[in-house]
Chains A and B, each alone.
Chain A
């Protein structure tokens, strides 16, 4: 259980943004992030929009070429074209928007069968068909719907098609990028349960990216928190909710709208002032210092190291010992 399936070391992903007519500036979407995902676990990745959580997921699958850093899968590096091709058989993705991530001109069976076509994983039409029906059954889709088009389905069912496509290659690792945020609450619970069940049946490992802390808390074994391209905290799911250490995580956990009026009204919230700075001019030192109630000069001077504070609990803050 403690074996690492995916390991990320000092991952950096910069995008060049044009400022003015002739000059460009790097946007540091992900800046020096290191973490590992254990075999069979779900690592939740939370943060606000623009913090780089989606970029981490995409770079991990080499959908973007990383600017710097290493990605290891099953202990082996992934960087050459051949390695990436092999890697993508074992690592797939479920996207956020079930409306735009399915080709409207393809039937459900072609959408689910496309990964099989690309990797040539069948010897006959019949074998392909059998595999597609098996996958549809696995995600609770009616096999009679194989020749329909995506627009004939509701949001929840479309997300099931997306999940069936991700499962087509028998992957061991799936990056789930906000897979339930476009769905209604009652449908969301159906899909979350399905993720849970598939993990149990197939021994899958997930990187579950979401902004909804209630959902992430439910599905994850461990949770990582990102802010402005940096990872600020990583710990067990219950630990990070009950004993957050980083001031940003503390405010994030206190800001979760709780579906209980008595808690919601009694809640002592840590409301942050201000907005997230633009990643184009991120503050010097700790990226959170402009909104942090405890910031001092040391925070402006250097970026705090992301280190293990207590067993399995990582955080990046200069004042971690003072605050906890």
Chain B
């Protein structure tokens, strides 16, 4: 398999008045051609910062302090803003969470999408650009594209605006599309339309998608592989079926257990993860999840676990997978991929 994106030991920090916030603390993963990878995590887990680091769109005091990001074999960390601009949009494009604020309210949407085409190919005439925009609008199923391209963003509903954003991201046929919570601001029935659209476009164009979300339901629908992030680290990596049916990290287990089951009423209590997420100015010395983990041992509090491999493509950053982990009370006992 060809790796479109390869991230190695990425570290990103923000310098704030209360100290350095280590938002991403050494993250490594890859995205294959034509694959859709989901990055799941709660707020503050570092999932959005990871995607912004890939795009080199960190604002303010955010800075990549180590690691490498390779897109189509080319190193992105350290590229000049100008070089990066020629890559953004053409090779990697991004859809943001909030379609309400991501569009310029003063410019017709057709022009905003056309601007993307113009900035990567100055030879296109205005008429050619307009034709391409109409094609793109058709692709994202905006009705009456010929007239709609002259409309302003406020004349569109949330779902339609997100379609414009997708059209813009697809304008230069990128190899990789990063979607950061693209459906969080939308209603269920509209979310459904957008997910269906993304799936069919991915099939048509054969591009790779990196899907960032906190909603495991959305991931189950769209992704073939999942990375679970917590405290700036990838805790578990597995294919979609293993994540839900054979999770090996206690955080993943807790996350799945805390979603209400549609077939259960309130006679069955939810199983929340107790406590709250770690403070990233002073991340815990050991495993960031240890203070909330029901299976934490002494080592978990003092030493960050390495990434253990458990079968093909299934990795977990948890001491429970170590060869000498205690077997009594070990939730992984007898499970596929766990050490004997």
Interface residue A261 (Cβ < 8 Å from any Cβ of B): yes
Q: How many residues belonging to A are interface residues under a CB distance threshold of 8 Å?
A: 47
Say yes or no: A184 contacts B214, CB within 8 Å.
yes
* Minimum C-beta distance from A52 to chain B (A): 14
Choose from A157, A196, A255 the contact partner of B266 (Cβ within 8 Å): A196
Say yes or no: B276 contacts A264, CB within 8 Å.
no
In chain A, residues 189-229, which have Cβ atoms closer than 8 Å to a Cβ of chain B? 189-190, 192-193, 196, 211, 213-215, 217-221
* Cβ-closest chain A residue relative to B240: A261
Choose from A185, A272, A275 the contact partner of B214 (Cβ within 8 Å): A185
> Which residues on A sit within 8 Å (CB–CB) of B216?
185, 259
Say yes or no: A257 contacts B244, CB within 8 Å.
no
Interface residue B264 (Cβ < 8 Å from any Cβ of A): yes
Most buried by A among B189, B254, B273: B189
Choose from B189, B240, B273 the contact partner of A189 (Cβ within 8 Å): B273
Stretch of B74-82, B146-154, B255-263 contacting A (4+ beta carbons < 8 Å): B255-263
> Which residues on A sit within 8 Å (CB–CB) of B159?
275
Choose from A193, A264, A275 the contact partner of B269 (Cβ within 8 Å): A193
Stretch of B174-182, B191-199, B320-328 contacting A (4+ beta carbons < 8 Å): B191-199
* Cβ-closest chain B residue relative to A291: B189
Say yes or no: B244 contacts A269, CB within 8 Å.
no
> Which residues on B sit within 8 Å (CB–CB) of A211?
187-188
Most buried by A among B195, B221, B244: B221
Say yes or no: A261 contacts B241, CB within 8 Å.
yes
Say yes or no: A213 contacts B188, CB within 8 Å.
yes
Say yes or no: A258 contacts B258, CB within 8 Å.
no
* Cβ-closest chain B residue relative to A267: B221
Say yes or no: B262 contacts A187, CB within 8 Å.
no
Say yes or no: A49 contacts B196, CB within 8 Å.
no
Say yes or no: A261 contacts B269, CB within 8 Å.
no
Interface residue A34 (Cβ < 8 Å from any Cβ of B): no
* Cβ-closest chain B residue relative to A275: B157
Choose from B188, B244, B265 the contact partner of A48 (Cβ within 8 Å): B188
* Minimum C-beta distance from B162 to chain A (A): 11
> Which residues on B sit within 8 Å (CB–CB) of A218?
260-261, 264-266, 270
Q: Compute how far the CA of A154 lies from the CA of B259 in the bound complex, rounded to whole angstroms.
A: 20
* Minimum C-beta distance from A240 to chain B (A): 11
> Which residues on A sit within 8 Å (CB–CB) of B195?
257
Dominant secondary structure at the A interface: helix
Say yes or no: A48 contacts B258, CB within 8 Å.
no
* Cβ-closest chain A residue relative to B239: A261
Interface residue B271 (Cβ < 8 Å from any Cβ of A): yes
* Cβ-closest chain B residue relative to A47: B187
Say yes or no: B256 contacts A259, CB within 8 Å.
yes
Interface residue A156 (Cβ < 8 Å from any Cβ of B): yes
Range class of the B interface residue count: 35 or more
Interface residue A265 (Cβ < 8 Å from any Cβ of B): yes
* Minimum C-beta distance from B300 to chain A (A): 18
> Which residues on A sit within 8 Å (CB–CB) of B193?
271-273
> Which residues on B sit within 8 Å (CB–CB) of A263?
220
Q: Compute how far the CA of A157 lies from the CA of B275 in the bound complex, rounded to whole angstroms.
A: 10
* Minimum C-beta distance from A125 to chain B (A): 32
Say yes or no: A275 contacts B272, CB within 8 Å.
no
* Minimum C-beta distance from B25 to chain A (A): 19
Q: Compute how far the CA of A188 lies from the CA of B258 in the bound complex, rounded to whole angstroms.
A: 8
Say yes or no: A190 contacts B272, CB within 8 Å.
yes
> Which residues on A sit within 8 Å (CB–CB) of B266?
42, 196, 218-221
Q: Compute how far the CA of A260 lies from the CA of B254 in the bound complex, rounded to whole angstroms.
A: 15
Say yes or no: B270 contacts A189, CB within 8 Å.
yes
* Cβ-closest chain A residue relative to B213: A257
Interface residue B215 (Cβ < 8 Å from any Cβ of A): yes
Interface residue A100 (Cβ < 8 Å from any Cβ of B): no
Say yes or no: B221 contacts A265, CB within 8 Å.
yes
Interface residue A176 (Cβ < 8 Å from any Cβ of B): no
Given contacts A255-B192, A256-B217, contact A193 B270 (CB under 8 A): yes
> Which residues on A sit within 8 Å (CB–CB) of B240?
261
> Which residues on B sit within 8 Å (CB–CB) of A213?
188, 262
Q: Compute how far the CA of A19 lies from the CA of B218 in the bound complex, rounded to whole angstroms.
A: 39
Say yes or no: B271 contacts A257, CB within 8 Å.
no
> Which residues on B sit within 8 Å (CB–CB) of A265?
220-221
Q: Compute how far the CA of A45 lies from the CA of B216 in the bound complex, rounded to whole angstroms.
A: 23
Q: Annotate B154-173 by CB proximity to A: 1 below 8 A, 0 otherwise.
A: 00010110000000000000
Interface residue B190 (Cβ < 8 Å from any Cβ of A): yes
Say yes or no: A258 contacts B217, CB within 8 Å.
yes
28 contacts between A and B (CB under 8 A): A48-B189, A49-B187, A154-B276, A157-B276, A184-B277, A185-B216, A185-B258, A185-B259, A186-B258, A187-B272, A187-B276, A189-B270, A213-B262, A214-B260, A220-B266, A238-B265, A255-B188, A255-B189, A256-B188, A257-B195, A259-B259, A261-B240, A262-B241, A264-B220, A265-B221, A272-B192, A275-B157, A275-B190
